[in-house]
Structure 1
Amino acid sequence: MTSGCGCGGGNGGSGGCGSATQEPVVEAPVALEPELIASSEQQWPIISVNGVAITPEAMALEVQYHPAQSREEAVYLAARALVIRELLQQRIAALGLAVDIGAGENPEEAATRLLLEREVKVPECDEATCVRFFENNRGRFHSAPLLAVRHILLECAPDDAEARHLAHVQAEVLLLSLTQNPGSFAELALKYSACPSKAQGGSLGQVSKGQTVPELERQLFTLAPGLADKPLESRYGWHVISVDQRIEGQALPYEAVATAIRTQLQQGVWQKALVQYLQTLIGAADIRGIALQGADSPLVQ
């Protein structure tokens, strides 16, 4: 089996078990109460916006972008997105907006951007608001911890249950051996690890957040210095971990995070203003075949 670890441990020990393949981001399911008009599960709902029909062909194409736990929910999400899109296009046509297409935009994207710039007015967050947010959330603004880590990777495919079980058992055996003889880590890493870092005694060097695959990082940064009391699992297999040093993150001054705070707060204000604007369009439109009301429903994905 070729190693897919990608930890970078063979190049001077910088980084740890990262990979060019990012863990897929899974969007949390939204609690919805879909209301659609359809005579059977196999048929598409009959929906119109101010007399303009949302075609089954459009829904069939859109539904692939809305994974959900059931077909009904996926169709609802797709139909909702198409209704909002149609509302925006009708508003653009009613205003007769002259579109200036920017780099990387298509005409529809450019027109939508121009419409929202014109009709969704968002006040700028002032300095006092940003400072108040910082003072009320100081615990959130720290530099990331830094760990000096060694590991032994017992590699196995993520979908091979038997190999996973055997690798876990072997990891427990190695952990017991290291508990009895801590000085043998480098020897065992060279003999058993599937990671290039075995040439450096398993050392990954100093690891900060963002340098390991997410499922390993979540476990790794909870560890205290010393030999971890159990193996850690990742997509690559099972890891026997030793944290040689842990440097805790430091509190950051306001000046270091002011821009990030302003961006975060401004984005929140923008989202609220956008939802209110879309609710206004919905309230003024004749929409048939789908119910879009509900203050808690996210209207834009």
Structure 2
Amino acid sequence: MPIIPTRRAISGGIAALMLATAPALADQPAQAPAADAAAGAADAQNAPVDPDAVVARVNGHEITLGDVILMRANLPPQYQALPDEQLYEALVEQIVTQTLLADKAREAGLDQSRLAKLRARADARNFLAEAQLRREIEKAVTEDALRAAYEKKMAERKPVEEVRARHILVKTKEEAEAVRKELLDGADFAELAKTRSTGPSGPRGGDLGWFEKDMMVPEFAEAAFALEPGEISEPVQTQFGWHVIKLEERREKPAPTFEEMREELAAELESEAARAAVDAVREGVTVERPEPAPAPAAIRRDDVLIPR
């Protein structure tokens, strides 16, 4: 067990403490708000809000709405779903409790400990680094940039062939040959698949929908893509058993629309912007690494950060 509590462990402890100090949260399950309550919440979301507004005072400390908003934003999902009135009161009471505990910690000199100072430094560093990356990403991921990335991908896109096929899966070659003979004698493929196929597509008449060649096991793909529309294959063996395949259609796969690719494009632009931002700040910087360096195993020594 780690000596220094992790953020996840701390968050879990805070959540548990919230339940202990706010019986309303422990006793009442989260309920879906009614339509009128939802409408009221939507109106509240759009109303002017002052994050510096003081919501409580304790021991000379002011607790602001901004403090409450920040704590709410860091709650686990199950608490985010609670009604606002219930959650608001619990969060204010939780910050009051934390403030009183923090005062006791200062009285004991814990705010001067090495760990407290390192934690504060790490929190500030992490927040500012993330804020700078978000700033660069927001500048890079614009509607125009997304459109340009889409057009570039479409210009570079190579035609991809795909087919729509049905199949009937059975256990043995003899069964597959018997199925094929029935089909050649005029049996309806879809109806036969429903009664004879052991595969999951059987109830759908063996319909596999549209697929590209590399989406199927090689033996099946080679046989399917070699067929002409309406043609029925010889029995094909794969790791799943024996297949009889009917090709329904083939086409060039339609290009995805801009909206279909929006999230993927945004993720790519965000990644590129983050890499560029990191490269930019590191370019030309001299990093001094004093010698002798600590032994790599020293990073496991949590105990040296704990106050004595």
Bigger Cα Rg: 2
Select the structure that is richer in helix. Answer: 2
Greater relative contact order: 1 or 2 (C-alpha under 8 angstroms, separation 6 or more)?
1
Q: Same fold (TM over 0.5)?
A: no
TM-score if structure 1 supplies the norm length? 0.37
